[in-house]
Amino acid sequence: SDFLNVYRDLTKTETDEPRHVRNFARAYLRLGRPLLAVVQFQKYLHAQPSSVGFEELADVYRKLNRERNAEEAVQKAGELRSKGK
């Protein structure tokens, strides 16, 4: 898909912008490729941890029936939320 290539290119050319990695993850999700979305969400969260990002990751894990991973992501989201992130 064209928009997938746009996000892929942005992640390479603007490496200091984690939001491009998040959008790349969302693009994979829209295309029905949740495993690839997980990889990109993990990269995004490594660069810019956020409660909202971990909640999105938890949703993807639930789609993959990986409830334990989803619970861990929700827990991390809660920890970050309590710190105001």
Average pLDDT value for residue range 16-35:
92
DSSP annotation of 48 reads: S
- Please tell me the distance from the alpha carbon of residue 43 to that of residue 85, in angstroms, as a whole number: 17
pLDDT score recorded for residue 34 = 97
69, 44, 40, 6 alpha-carbon torsion, rounded to 10°: 150
Q: Enter the pTM of the model.
A: 0.87
What pLDDT shows up at residue 5? 78
